[in-house]
Structure 1
Amino acid sequence: MQGILSIQSHVTYGHAGNSCAVFPMQRMGHEVWAINTVQFSNHTQHPQGWTGQAHDARQISEIFEGLAKLKALSQIKGIVTGYLGGPSHCDVIVDIVQEVRRHNPECLYFCDPVMGAPDKGCIVSEGVAELLVNKVMPIADVIVPNQFELSQFIGEPIETLEQASQACLKAMAKGPKLVLAKHLHSVSQDAFTMMLSSENENYLAQRPHLAFERQPVGVGDLITSVFAAGYLNGLSEVEAFKHCNNAVYGVLKVTQEKGEWELQTIAAQQEFTSPTGQFDLTHL
């Protein structure tokens, strides 16, 4: 039985981190084995606050060791990581990726390098961003950064489409084989813009902005998981990118229609297999 190992945050109420990523990957046909880096009552943008705590890195290691005892490591076809609760989590991720690859060299690692956005209420512990840049992102097969995280990885600002394209190439020179820049906010004010960059070509995906009273949380987690699930299903990187753009838009559309700001992944679950919106890609 093959599966995807998903290591990221968890919220009991709503959808962010593993609470956002696991179900879409399951709905797309994958077994998903989740390890939570933190457990919160809800995501951190709720004005009422939240409760919970980050898990100790040793807890993550112990759960992984349990999988190893089941001889499951050779069955892990993909690893997806997101929010990490502290620097020690970064070290554990590196160890886990290396150990899984020892048992299954074909395993693909998808890294969503969450570095924090204080303006959105997302905070990461001191030292996490540096370790993501220097140790974690370079060993990933696929990285899924936003514009800020991509800029941090290459150490240069990004303000134009050309700079974004060059940034992806510079990022791949550091190790990753694919870059999915999941939100290039400087490229267009009129559309939500993503870029997929491989060694030979770049594609741009754009979809309409949707108005929310409060911006939904977990969209980046959703993008990473849907792309990973599609790619691991055998879609080409371009097909998986297009499917991801369409499916995520569909989920956001349902969320907006219901007047919610927690992503409606359950109500919109058909979007993961049959997206209702279709947006063409631009080959750069």
Structure 2
Amino acid sequence: MNNVLSIQSHVVFGHAGNSAAVFPMRRLGVNVWPLNTVQFSNHTQYGRWTGSVFDADELQSVIEGIGAIGVLARCNAVLSGYLGATEQGRAVVEIVKMVKAVNPRALFFCDPVMGATGGCTVEPGIEDFLVTTMPEVADAMMPNHLELEKLVGRTIETVEEAVDACREVLARGPRIVLVKHLIDRNSRADTFNMLAVSETEAWFVQRPLYPFARQPVGVGDLTSGIFVARTLQGDSLRDALEHTLAAVNAVVRATYDAGRYELEIVASQDEIAHPTDRFPAIRVTGQEVGRWA
């Protein structure tokens, strides 16, 4: 069984960070070792929360403890998400080095949470660290649209421009870039777009965009977790993308139908594992401008 060390935030109420990603990964057959960067009462988009940020040295100490009992080599992947402080970013890099020292085949998936969308709050300095340091360390980067723009330092308006930006990020080290939410001027306003790019492939896929009064939080964390799990289970880039989009669509649709703000993850667990609806990905070759549904 694959084991993922998931270094993200934790909220006691609701679904964000590890609270959104751990259960879906386990439901997909991947064992998860959650390491929380923060523990908050709830996610920050409520505008108020309590809790604390864990010390970066404490994060490393926990992993050293796992190493001390001789099981760190069983870690197949590290997934990082929300960071509560820049020092935690440096700790993540050291933790990845520790894991790869005992298991060189282990993969590092970086979800570069930079804030500035939907009220998400991150500390000053984290964005710069994610932009300047993480692409050289990560095996896969999983930004949203705004984060991809920050990674390459320019505006992106089309799928083709996004593919070019992803390839620019790939040139810095990662094998895969997953754009968890892509804004494309040629797509219909009622669609939600995703893109997965490697050195030789680029796949674009869409699902419905549900008209929430306020969009639920944690969709990106849910997306990253499912993509990591499906990749570790041996999916091709296209298959991992298609399963991820379909599973996330099922959760979001169930949340919308229930009139909820917090994601209906547990209620949708069977759909996470075996999505009913499928959305075929389109290979991007540079000839598809204006052809998206």
TM-score in terms of structure 1 length: 0.96
User: Cα deviations across residues 156-196 of structure 1 (Å, max 9, x unaligned)?
Assistant: 22112221111011110011110001111234323100111
Contact 1:147 1:183 survives alignment (8 Å): yes
Distance 1:182 1:275 in 2: 18
Aligned to 1:208: 208
Superposed CA RMSD in Å reads 1.2
Distance 2:146 2:204 in 1: 18
With over 3 angstroms needed to count, the CA separation of the structure-2 counterparts of 1:88 and 1:41, relative to structure 1, is same
Aligned to 2:107: 108
Aligned to 1:223: 223
Aligned residues: 282
Distance 2:46 2:268 in 1: 22
Distance 1:197 1:56 in 2: 34
Contact 2:59 2:91 survives alignment (8 Å): yes
- Classify the secondary structure of the residue corresponding to 2:32: strand
Matches within 5 A, 1:1-284: 2-46=2-46, 49-117=48-116, 119-187=117-185, 188=187, 189-284=189-284
TM-superposed deviation, 1:2: 4.5
Distance 2:180 2:118 in 1: 16
Contact 2:2 2:232 survives alignment (8 Å): no
Letter in 2 for 1:260: R
TM-superposed deviation, 1:240: 0.7
Distance 1:186 1:89 in 2: 33
| Structure 2 unmatched ranges of 5 or more | 285-293
Distance 2:72 2:130 in 1: 23
Contact 2:223 2:244 survives alignment (8 Å): yes
Distance 1:53 1:21 in 2: 20
- Classify the secondary structure of the residue corresponding to 1:226: helix
Distance 2:45 2:131 in 1: 26
Contact 2:11 2:43 survives alignment (8 Å): yes
TM-superposed deviation, 1:72: 1.8
- Classify the secondary structure of the residue corresponding to 2:112: coil
Distance 2:240 2:159 in 1: 22
Distance 1:83 1:76 in 2: 20
Distance 1:144 1:39 in 2: 23
TM-superposed deviation, 1:137: 2.6
- Classify the secondary structure of the residue corresponding to 2:76: strand
TM-superposed deviation, 1:66: 1.2
Distance 2:25 2:275 in 1: 15
Report runs of 4+ in structure 1 exceeding 4 Å deviation: none
Query: Identity across aligned pairs (percent)?
Result: 45
